[in-house]
Structure 1
Amino acid sequence: MRGPHNIIRLIRTGATLERTGAMKVIMDAVEAPATVRMVMRGLVWPFQWLGLKGDPNQPPVTRALQALGPAYIKFGQILSTRPDVVGNDLALQLRVLQDKLPPFPVDVAKAEVERELGQPVDQIFAEFSEPVAAASIAQVHKARLVEDGSFVAVKVLRPGIEKAFQKDIDAFYLAASVVDMVSPSSRRLRPVDVIEHFEGVVLSELDLRLESASASEFADNTKDDAGFSLPMVNWSLSGRRVMTLDWVEGINAADVEAIEAAGHDRTELSRRVLQLFLNHALRDGYFHGDMHHGNLKIAANGDIVAYDFGIMGHLDEYTRRVYAEILFGFIRRDYKRVAEVHFEAGYVPADRDVDEFARALRAVGEPIFGMNAEKISMARLLSYLFEVTERFGMQTRTELILLQRTMVVVEGVARTFDHRMNIWDAAKPVVETYIKDSIGPRAAVDDLVKTARVLARFGPRLPALAETALIRLGEDPAPPPRRKYGPPLGWMVLGAGLAVAIAVLVDALT
């Protein structure tokens, strides 16, 4: 329940951070001002006895996030890919959260499998290993099928994970509501909408049938992508709480020394992982939304293998085009066009000055060009971007949250392979190709054809719609207003009729 009792949960969060020593580590990592340190620690210090102890053998932040629960662990997973934001030491500590969490017993996992699949484990699997990876929501076992002797990966949800996760989400809702109420300047960030989006994304991870469907669709989209592969789903051995896929051998993407020793080209891997993500987002509008190191392997043949499809992102065609134009504008250093796209898409209020916004974007983009990634402080860049968005009244776009977050994660993975990687140089060919295919003259013609076909489907209804509109217009006692924003109804009906005729002609020619 999303009630005031969640205040205790929030107090316990701060108290746990203080009790485990994580509060000081976090403040040091983000270089918080002395006044902020004093206020934050002063608020939680009296309540630290309420904090959870966690595992004293773990580093402070990892210890605190593990103790607090799955939603906090997810947050830590994201930070583990950003050494330029939280520092190398803390990022290394947080990588434990990706797939090395304490597992639940194998007997419990087998019981879950039997309950879900409706038959004894021994009849399905000749072997069923101890957990090989354990994350915040599920763990994975390596098994060998009785039927053909092939090896598979069996993913099993943690018992009681739904209830545990809902507790965290409820507390987040309370925090977002309080922020929305007491901080008017933060309302443009739409904190409640952000939590709703986050809840929807992660709750989809709690039904492995949805993840199986996501894996299947993703495989169809990417089957022709060179240097990229996915494990196939075994549908007959998958359900809501259990998912079975082909077993994939490979080196964990975080093990840079092993990747180097195997002779793989790390610079090429760095470029490829970023370009693959952009292709999936722009070309397909369907991308892996959790591409951290723990969900990627490097196969013996050099392929990047992705798994764990619980979080997938979807972008409609319009949003893809807006995103591509923004990226393309930054790549060309055409900040005026980037600003115009923001205004055209409604991301910035129309009463703001487009030229002033373009200058602010130039201050963000110019320091990037001509520099390699290791010299760019993403923490400072994000900080300045936040100031710019606040200044110009931009609201948080919930449909872009996952895209933006994953872009940060993927860049972090790419930098692990090659810290000199320049994100703009790697992105340029992908974005240029998409612009050429989707925003040029040919794309405009395709859009017109699609529009005409839609109108053609509604052709039989157009006379009735026109008649209804004319009757309502005749019943209106007020004089008709002057035409300001569009053509008269007669021209609209004629235009619709012409569109239908065009659609019929197109269908006949194609």
Structure 2
Amino acid sequence: MKSITRLLRLWTIQRVFIRHGLDELVLSIPLFRPVAFIYHLLPWNWKRKNQDLGPRGERIRLSLEALGPIFIKFGQMLSTRRDLMPDDIASELTRLQDRVPPFSSIEARQLIEKAYGRPVTEVFQRFETDPLASASIAQVHAAQLWDGKEVVVKVLRPGIEKIIRQDIEVMYLLAELVQRYWKDARRLRPVEIVAEYEKTIFDELDLMREAANASQVRRNFESNPVLYVPEVYWNYTHTNVMVMERIYGIPVGDIQRLKDLGINFKRLGELGVEVFFTQVFRHNFFHADMHPGNIFVDATHPHEPQYMAVDFGIVGTLTPEDKRYLAENFYAFFNRDYKRVAELHVESGWVPANTRVDEFESAIRSVCEPIFNLPIKDISFGNFLLRLFQTARRFNMEVQPQLVLLQKTLLNIEGLGRQLYPDLDLWSTAKPFIERWMDEQVGVRALLNGVKVNLPKLLENLPYMPNLLHDVLKQSAQHQMKLQWESKQLETLQKKLQSTQLKTQFIIAGGSLLVGGALFNTSSYINQDSGLFLTTGSLALIGLGLILYGLLKR
């Protein structure tokens, strides 16, 4: 049944692509070619090629919209990467960020009323029928609580879980095919990446989880004015409906409006870098869906603007090991210490242990050195990623599934930086932050921070220290007695083994003499040599004696 579902979804994908005039894309995928050929044979498709289907960017956008949430999210990511695709396609894909076709407002009201168990008019003083924004997973309506607070109500799309499950099954199928037939797939680990994405996107379907994520980020930035997160109203939040404070920022993608208000774009670009590194390295809890549809700017103070963020359905964290290795990689990279970068990749297991560090160092230098100290506008990240991919393939560097969300966030941040302030010097902006973080992790400051963190726990357990020390000493003494007893037992066993070995040697030697004597006796009997007969008979008797001695020896 699962295989049939997957095949039907594949048929739908290729049919949508062909219907929107993306024949070349379909025919470039070997798996789709037979189906595409059959599709073209159908009579009602013969005249399709003569129809004007619109610009290619629009056709790609319409295809992604028709295919559902996962494909829309892929388009959202691509929309921030104008260096990777033509402007006409990138501009059209920006419409996927918050202008996905909405679902019926009647359905939205029904879902809200079912969640609250009462009419919308009893929950809200005002509820706007037309949505403020519509995205791939949910849509947002403006409303007002009975206490006068302006809020937004986020509602999950009906039936969205079933659609996503179907797409995840197709992604697994494609990943398994890629892993089986593409020689580089083992290093890219596509099945594991799909599994990681599956967990992430299903977490996004739980609005209670998203509300908790938003509250956490809000607390993290309470004393830091660079990012504002709206308040969650928990009394109105359910698994498929969430209510938050309404914000009135300017979409970060509305460049012209920001220019008209005199925003300091250089400062805005620098703050974006600070927000990213603060979330990743200081809080270890980062917004992992930072496309322009989720980011706004507070222009109240144009020369010191503030970011405002929404939609915390996808957040990321790192293990302490990954965070440390990542930070040290950044630190070494910003200092052009390519040897240390190579060593860190080996130490972390990201490349095989037998990798020659000097060769890997040289390869990294050849990729990274040309883009150093260049502003974002002068860096071709497309060429950079291509060369990095070739280097990774040469040294069998594996994709780390646990870092996929971070890589996605980096793509979003870099795309935003390119739009906001193309002259941003990423290296000089990020380097001081990494240096400060490293200073906090090692040396005297790290020691003091460790004492500060662990001191309350130490003081809490201090009254129990004498008893704990007594228990440790008692257990140590018991273990010592046990070790002494086991040592005596081992010594006895060793003596027994030595005795058994000696007995075995006597038996083997006696057996050899006995057999040898018997053989020689037979030969002597034939040759009628009495002297030799007596000699070999003596050997046999000696051998028999050795066997008896070995058997009787204790």
What TM-score comes out, normalization by structure 1 length? 0.84
**CA shift at 1:165, angstroms?**
0.8
Q: Does 1:359 align with 2:350?
A: no
Structure 1 residues 208 and 473 mapped into 2: Cα distance closer, same or farther (>3 Å)?
farther
Partners of 1:21 and 1:119 lie apart in 2 by: 47
Cα deviation for residue 442 of structure 1 reads: 3.7
Find the counterpart in structure 2 of residue 236 from structure 1: 235
Q: Name the structure 1 match of 2:428.
A: 425
Contact 2:250–2:296 at 8 Å: present in 1 too?
Answer: yes
Task: Find the counterpart in structure 2 of residue 68 from structure 1.
Answer: 67
Matches within 5 A, 1:39-78: 45-48=36-39, 59-78=58-77
CA distance in 2, matches of 1:461, 1:273: 52
CA shift in 2, pair 1:221/1:184, >3 Å: same
Is the counterpart of residue 391 in structure 1 residue 386 in structure 2? no
Distance 1:134 1:297, change over 3 A: same
Match of 1:271 in 2: 270
Q: Deviations over 1:107-147 (max 9, x none)?
A: 2111111111222110121211111100000000010112x
CA displacement 1:235-279 (0-9 Å, x = unmatched)? 001010000000000111111001111111112111211221111
Which among 414, 417, 435 is matched to residue 438 of structure 2? 435
CA distance 1:430–1:286, shift in 2 (3 Å): same
Amino acid at match of 2:145: L
Alignment match of 1:339 (pick from 336, 339, 342): 342
Letter matched to residue 380 of structure 1: N
Pick one of 372, 391, 404 that aligns with 2:375. Answer: 372
CA drift at 1:422: 2.7
Q: Judging changes above 3 Å, is the alpha-carbon distance between structure 1 residues 48 and 335 closer, same or farther for their aligned structure 2 residues?
A: farther
Report the CA distance shift for 1:299/1:206 in structure 2 as closer, same or farther (over 3 A): same
Does the 8 Å CA contact 1:176/1:191 hold for their aligned counterparts? yes
Contact 1:10 1:175 in 2 (8 A): no
The letter of the residue matching 1:249 is Y
2:418 paired with 1:401: no
| Residue identity matched to 1:228 | L
Map of 2:285 onto structure 1: 286
The worse-fitting range, judged by mean Cα deviation, of 15-24 and 239-248 is 15-24
Q: Distance in 1 between matches of 2:388 and 2:283?
A: 28
- Residue 15 of structure 1 deviates from its aligned partner by 4.1
TM-superposed CA distance for 1:191, in Å, is 1.0
- The 3 A distance-change label for structure 1 pair 47 and 339 is farther
Structure 2 partner of 1:160 = 159
1:306 has 2:309 as partner = yes
Q: 1:120 to 1:407 in 2, by over 3 A?
A: same
- Look up the match of 1:139: 139
Cα RMSD (Å) of the superposition?
Answer: 3.3
Give the residue type in structure 1 aligned to 2:186: R
Letter in 2 for 1:376: I
Paired AA for residue 394 in structure 1: M
Measured in 1, the distance between the counterparts of 2:118 and 2:484 equals 66
| The structure with more helix, counted as a fraction of residues | 2
Q: For 1:273 and 1:451, how far apart are their aligned partners in 2? A: 33
Instruction: Say whether 1:89 aligns with 2:80.
Output: no
Q: Distance in 1 between matches of 2:486 and 2:389?
A: 48
Q: Deviations over 1:28-56 (max 9, x none)?
A: xxxxxxxx959688566415569999x96
**Distance in 2, Cα, partners of 1:421 & 1:209:** 37
Point out where structure 1 has 5 or more consecutive residues left out of the alignment: 28-35, 480-510
AA at the equivalent of 2:309:
A
Which sits farther off after the overlay, 72-81 or 423-432? Answer: 423-432
Per the alignment, do residues 365 and 96 of structure 1 end up closer, same or farther by CA in structure 2, a change over 3 Å counting? same
- Secondary structure, counterpart of 2:446 in structure 1: helix
Distance 1:448 1:181 in 2: 51
Aligned to 1:506: none
Query: Are residues 182 and 226 of structure 1, via their aligned partners in 2, closer, same or farther at CA, if it must alter by over 3 Å?
Result: same
CA distance in 1, matches of 2:454, 2:365: 37
Residues 471 and 226 of structure 1, relative CA distance in 2, 3 Å threshold: farther
Match of 2:10 in 1: 10
Higher gyration radius (CA): 2
3-state DSSP class of the match of 1:85?
Answer: coil
Instruction: Give 5+ residue unaligned stretches, structure 2.
Output: 495-554
Distance 1:354 1:236, change over 3 A: same
1:156-235 to 2 correspondence within 5 Å?
156-235=155-234
Distance in 1 (alpha carbons) for counterparts of 2:474 and 2:182: 52
Name the CA shift for 1:250/1:37 in 2 (closer, same or farther; >3 Å): same
SS in 2 for 1:297: strand
Corresponding residue for 1:247?
246
- Alignment-mate amino acid for residue 209 of structure 2: L
Query: SS of the residue aligned with 1:310?
Result: coil
Tell me, what secondary structure is at the counterpart of 2:142?
strand
Q: Which moved more, 1:397-406 or 1:435-444?
A: 435-444
Which structure has more RCO (C-alpha within 8 Å, separation ≥ 6)?
A: 1
Distance 1:370 1:2, change over 3 A: same
| Identity within the alignment, % | 36
Contact 2:151 2:244 in 1 (8 A): yes
Output the TM-score relative to the length of structure 2.
Answer: 0.77
